[in-house]
Structure 1
Amino acid sequence: MIIVTGGAGFIGSNIVKGLNERGRDDILVVDNLTNMVKFKNIQGLKVMDYMDKIDFGEAVLDGAFDHEKIDVIFHEGACSDTMEYNGKYMMENNFEYTKNLFHFAADRKIQFMYASSASTYGSGKHGFTEKPECEEALNVYAFSKLFMDNYIRRYLDGLESQVVGLRYFNVYGPQENHKGKMASMAFQMYNQFRKEGRVKLFEGYDGYGPGEQTRDFVYVKDVVKVNFFFWDHPELKGIYNCGTGHAHPFNTVAKAVLKHFGAPVDKLEYVPFPEVLKGKYQSYTQADETALLSVGYDGGFTGIEEAVEEYCQVLDKTGGYYTRQDSL
């Protein structure tokens, strides 16, 4: 059996799709369907069972899974809202829950991959390398992720089984509809153009020109590839960046979306930078891939123009979801 927490979410459901493509459907999806629209992410996929997140967490602590044959846990379930200010809620979801699953997996020598975040690098002024001197949380979301990474670091040398934390940079692609305001800029721009016939970006801020704030945009298919690389190499453990190693301005994504619609560049507009984001905004991210490449990852990353076009085609066809035919 394979367990995918957050399996009805964005990255989790893409991992389930990837597992299906590998011929695996003995998958327990763990999630919280309070946001019921997430059911659309798994209705086109093959899974064995579904379990509510709270029920699953309690069952793990109660020993209900102690004798189950579990190959690997992909732990993608977390609160991903960077604007959530309830620290107690954030730590319960992103630290305590992950900590319990980590110990469960380590005690039973189950491979354990979990979602960390590039937000652990704060403003990025110290770089984007997996080292404490580069790390700085600017909000409680980033703090919860960094706290977990540091907790894991205390155990790495003594572990007999695999644990890998992947610091996701700006992930985009199919199955993120439910994320609303936290969905990728590619998703936001596509839908904004459909609705308004134009795309909007922020004006200049923090020394960057209009729309020139940059991100390491990574296609969700590539995120799945990185997860599976570590699954295929159980001898590896640690904290690794999951990004392309290239920074692209938001303008590049906007122009790729406009190109998909056959729209001119003058359909791109700039709006004032929000006061609420000042001092809490990463104007630049770019993964240092040294650690990832040094352990042998050679799967590459999809070019941004190619990936945005492919994603827009999925949005055209199904509104951004995988159908069963697409999945198998």
Structure 2
Amino acid sequence: MKYIYDDLADKNILITGGAGFIGSNLALYFQKHHPQANVCVFDKFRDDTYFPSGNPTSLGHFKNLLEFHGEVIVGDLIKDLDKIKNRDFDYIFHQAAISDTTAMDQKLMLETNFEAFVNLYEIARQRGAMLIYASSAGTYGNSPAPNSLGVGEVPENIYGYSKLQMDVFARKILERDSQTPLIGLRYFNVYGEREFYKGKTASMILQLGLQALEHKKVRLFKHGEQLRDFVYIKDVIQANVKAIEARASGVYNVGAGVARSFNDIVEILKKHLGDFEVEYIDNPYVFYQNHTQADISLSEEFLSYTPRFSLEQGIESYIPEIVRIFETQVRAR
């Protein structure tokens, strides 16, 4: 599905974190719909290092890019921005970050997510590039929903704080220069194709689907009534691409605009995968968000962003990929 119709032929596009979930979807979107654009991926890729939680320190995976034919640059946000600082890019989509909300190394989180973003902004400014970056609903913490920009920005963990600092920096820049092409997109709970290599940090939609297929049983925190704004990957790509033609720079929410429960996910999955058991367990996370819902009114007005997938439609579209992952990755183990 093509979201803009301006000619991007010969435009230079950089996607940081391009081997990750959202970044790889962006890279393949541009490759398919704007084949004359020059798309470059910058990613650290994963190695054998892990956070204390057991999650990889990098979520970039080469298999997300098997269909990508553009340039790939291997680099760490903290150490290797010199590799791109003299390159001419028209658009930079900054998706790279430590996105593991259970990571507790505050120094590393801020260096990677915040300080590297400031340095990348300076590169974009010097090269005259438009910078579109990934923020997060984690900036709202447990503030009451619906979540509106500038209200209740009280993150509960260092990840959310690092993303809030990015937004604070962007707002200060825009206060000085409203013409700066700088847009932050606060993603809510994104799910969809190419998230498998996120492992334990993949969406609950994928995790529950695979649990149901493997065990005929899923586990939820008591009692599955927590509410989230689940947004399908194709709507997130839509928001990024439409940001190119935004009416105004700024920070915007990217969600479905409605809150749904984990029990809702279970009921939808049962329609596609058959019946299975649900076990409710205690929640060990004190910073857990119990209710998120994006106020997308400004996104609709200034980005022309309108979600196209309800939770039912998004899961239905995703089901063939969930089944494929189960057959090729889980059952084959």
- Which among 198, 219, 225 is matched to residue 217 of structure 2? 198
1:174-208 deviation line (CA, Å, top 9, x unaligned):
111111111000110111112211222121xxxxx
1:117-167 deviation line (CA, Å, top 9, x unaligned):
001001022751111x41001110011000111011111033333100000
1:297 to 2:304 alignment:
yes
2:211 is matched by which residue type in structure 1? Answer: Q
1:34 to 2:46 alignment:
yes
Q: CA deviation at 1:47?
A: 1.4
Q: CA deviation at 1:293?
A: 1.5
Aligned to 2:186: 167
Secondary structure class of the residue paired with 1:134: coil
1:4 to 2:27 alignment:
no
Q: CA deviation at 1:53?
A: 2.8
Alignment of 1:148-159 (within 5 A): 148-159=166-177
1:110 to 2:129 alignment:
yes
- Which among 145, 152, 157 is matched to residue 163 of structure 2? 145
1:26-58 deviation line (CA, Å, top 9, x unaligned):
211111112487111001223133332356413
Q: 1:193 to 1:319 in 2, by over 3 A?
A: closer
1:308 to 2:315 alignment:
yes
5+ residue gaps, structure 1: 204-209, 322-328
Is the Cα–Cα contact under 8 Å of residues 76 and 114 in structure 1 kept in the other structure? yes
Q: 1:162 to 1:192 in 2, by over 3 A?
A: same
Is the Cα–Cα contact under 8 Å of residues 216 and 277 in structure 2 kept in the other structure? no
1:122 to 2:141 alignment:
yes
- Counterpart CA distance in 1 for 2:72 and 2:99 is 24
- Counterpart CA distance in 1 for 2:225 and 2:219 is 13
Q: CA deviation at 1:211?
A: 1.0
Q: 1:27 to 1:289 in 2, by over 3 A?
A: same
Q: CA deviation at 1:272?
A: 2.2
Aligned to 2:229: 216
- Which among 274, 278, 288 is matched to residue 269 of structure 1? 278
Comparing 145-154 with 311-320, greater Cα deviation is found at 311-320
Q: CA deviation at 1:254?
A: 1.5
- Which among 232, 249, 265 is matched to residue 237 of structure 1? 249
Q: 1:130 to 1:6 in 2, by over 3 A?
A: same
Aligned residue pairs, count: 303
- Counterpart CA distance in 2 for 1:259 and 1:309 is 9
5+ residue gaps, structure 2: 1-11, 48-58, 329-333
Q: CA deviation at 1:319?
A: 5.8
Secondary structure class of the residue paired with 1:212: coil
- Counterpart CA distance in 2 for 1:258 and 1:162 is 44
Aligned to 1:58: 82
Secondary structure class of the residue paired with 1:77: coil
- Counterpart CA distance in 1 for 2:311 and 2:145 is 25
Q: 1:284 to 1:156 in 2, by over 3 A?
A: same
1:185 is matched by which residue type in structure 2? Answer: M
Aligned to 2:52: none
Q: CA deviation at 1:236?
A: 2.2
Aligned to 1:256: 268
Percentage of matched positions with identical amino acids: 34
1:22 to 2:33 alignment:
yes
Q: CA deviation at 1:320?
A: 10
Q: 1:298 to 1:73 in 2, by over 3 A?
A: closer
User: Which is richer in helix?
Assistant: 1
2:82 is matched by which residue type in structure 1? Answer: E
Alignment TM-score, normalising by the size of structure 1? 0.87
Secondary structure class of the residue paired with 1:281: coil
Aligned to 2:9: none
Q: CA deviation at 1:316?
A: 2.4
- Counterpart CA distance in 1 for 2:186 and 2:81 is 23
Alignment TM-score, normalising by the size of structure 2? 0.85
Q: CA deviation at 1:273?
A: 1.9
